[in-house]
């Protein structure tokens, strides 16, 4: 079975320190269908790789919202 991995960039509002980054990364990486996530405080973005069909960009943004921050998908595309 060939599983497609996609990537989405999220714009995140409300992060102000390294603790915030850690909290968002931990929440994202624990999400169902997420292959990996990295968060960048300097750009207020998260790069998230996820399995197509297992989750969606909107569901991933909701994970960030549940962690206490505002997020919206900036783009979504197949990961290389």
| pLDDT band at residue 75 using 50, 70 and 90 as cut-offs | confident
Give the mean pLDDT of 34-63: 96
Name the fold adopted by 5-78.
Alpha-Beta Plaits (3.30.70)
Following CA atoms 72, 78, 79, 80 in sequence, which dihedral angle do they give, to the nearest 10 degrees?
-150
Given a cut of 70, whether residue 65 has pLDDT beyond it is yes
Helix (H, G, I), strand (E, B) or coil at 37: strand
Give the predicted TM-score (pTM) of the model. 0.88
d(CA 35, CA 32): 9
Instruction: Quote the distance between the C-alpha of residue 50 and its chain's center.
Output: 9
**Domain limits, the chain:** 5-78
């Amino acid at each position: 079975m060939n599983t497609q991995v996609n990537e989405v960039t999220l714009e995140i509002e409300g992060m102000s320190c390294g603790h915030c980054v850690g909290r968002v990364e931990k929440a994202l990486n624990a999400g169902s269908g997420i292959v990996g996530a990295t968060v960048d405080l300097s750009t207020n973005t998260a790069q998230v790789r996820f399995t197509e069909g297992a989750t969606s960009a909107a569901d991933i943004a909701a994970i960030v919202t549940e962690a206490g921050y505002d997020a919206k998908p900036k783009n979504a595309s197949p990961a290389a």
